[in-house]
Structure 1
Amino acid sequence: MQKLIFETERLIIREVENADLDSLFAICGNDELMKYTDNGAISKELTKKWIEVSINNYATKGYGMSAVIYKANMEFIGYCGLVYSKDVNDYELIYAIRKEYWGQQLTTEMAAQMLWFGFETIKLKTIFTSIDPNNLASKKILLKLGFTELYTKDGEFGNPTIYYEKSSL
């Protein structure tokens, strides 16, 4: 059964489930969509494992990586969530959406609501995020959402990464 996490004007954010494997892999296995992630595109097997980890995170922590559904057509268009990051030893905002949905402010919409969820529902004090220095679209989103750039260093998989933080009010 699908469990709603929250809704925005145009999006439904819900817990990811095993039935989402093909839709999630269409994103996670896509070289273009994953070119700015530290580890790049991943296999269908690793995508399945990520769903399993997320389901366990919901059961043990109450949150994790979530499915993003576009209300207008009820399609799975991406993922977002709060996940534990070894790099910052804390929780990190993650997100990605299918290319045909770029440029519509959907990422800003879902990320802003995920931040609210993290601060207000989960009661996190700080949320981190990290991006590839060449990901100018994400940098613009993060600055719009009030993130502060902390530093640049090599990420978990050895690629240059800019780290950001945002504290609750």
Structure 2
Amino acid sequence: MIIAETDRLILRQFQARDIHSIFLLNSIPEILTYIPGEPMSSIKQAEEIFADVIVANYEEFGYGRWAVEHKADKKVIGFCGPKYIAEFDEVELGYRYLPEYWGKGYGSEAGKSALDLFTSFGVDEAIALILLGNKGSENLAKKLGMEHRNRDSFMGHKVNVFHKHL
């Protein structure tokens, strides 16, 4: 199901055919520098995340992380979208991209499109939880109009919490 389109991207629900992309986004060490947890080591782990987290979020909330598909090459280059974070009782805008697509404006293009849709799901505020030192993600959050709210802890790591009223 297509959620949104931009000039260069399609934001859509993840599907079973995207499991390899989910694996890549969770197994490449360079991508995971500022992501808590260990890199995935098997496709089975991606299958479990797809079923137990992504699809479960779609079913429970009507939203979740969305695949970001590059129109020109039809490749899933990352994800961007909302996720309810129980520990904060708030909805996070999360995003992650393959390294070869960093620095080309895809993050801000997808992020703006995703944030524009939050209110259609009854969400009027968004946060971003960014591990300390992740200047790239902080810069993207700022570019999307988010402001630093405070420092907190998430999954055993210190994070900067960015926030935006929509």
Q: Choose the corresponding residue for 1:42, options 40, 43, 46.
A: 40
Note the residue ranges of structure 1 that are not aligned, 5 or more in a row.
none
CA distance in 2, matches of 1:15, 1:108: 19
Tell me which amino acid in the other structure corresponds to 2:103: G
Per-residue CA deviation, residues 85-125 of structure 1 (Å, 9 max, x unaligned), is: 13311111111010001110100110111100112x11312
Aligned length: 164
CA distance in 1, matches of 2:50, 2:78: 13
Q: Which residue of 1 aligns with 2:14?
A: 16
CA distance in 2, matches of 1:65, 1:43: 21
TM-score (norm 1): 0.90
- Contact kept in structure 1, 2:8 and 2:72, CA below 8 Å: yes
The 5-angstrom pairing of residues 44-63 of structure 1 reads 44=42, 45-52=44-51, 53-63=53-63
- Contact kept in structure 2, 1:88 and 1:128, CA below 8 Å: no
The 5-angstrom pairing of residues 51-130 of structure 1 reads 51-52=50-51, 53-119=53-119, 121-130=120-129
Identity rate of aligned residues, in percent? 27
CA distance in 2, matches of 1:40, 1:13: 26
Shift of 1:40: 4.7
Per-residue CA deviation, residues 34-83 of structure 1 (Å, 9 max, x unaligned), is: 11113352344332222113223223322111111000111111111111
- Contact kept in structure 1, 2:82 and 2:93, CA below 8 Å: yes
Q: Which residue of 1 aligns with 2:141?
A: 142
CA distance in 1, matches of 2:138, 2:4: 24
Q: Choose the corresponding residue for 2:159, options 134, 137, 161.
A: 161
CA RMSD of aligned residues (A): 1.4
Secondary structure of 1:34 counterpart? helix
Pair 1:27 & 2:21 matched: no
Secondary structure of 1:67 counterpart? strand
- Contact kept in structure 2, 1:57 and 1:64, CA below 8 Å: yes
CA distance in 1, matches of 2:17, 2:73: 18
CA distance in 2, matches of 1:38, 1:151: 19
Note the residue ranges of structure 2 that are not aligned, 5 or more in a row.
none
Secondary structure of 2:22 counterpart? helix
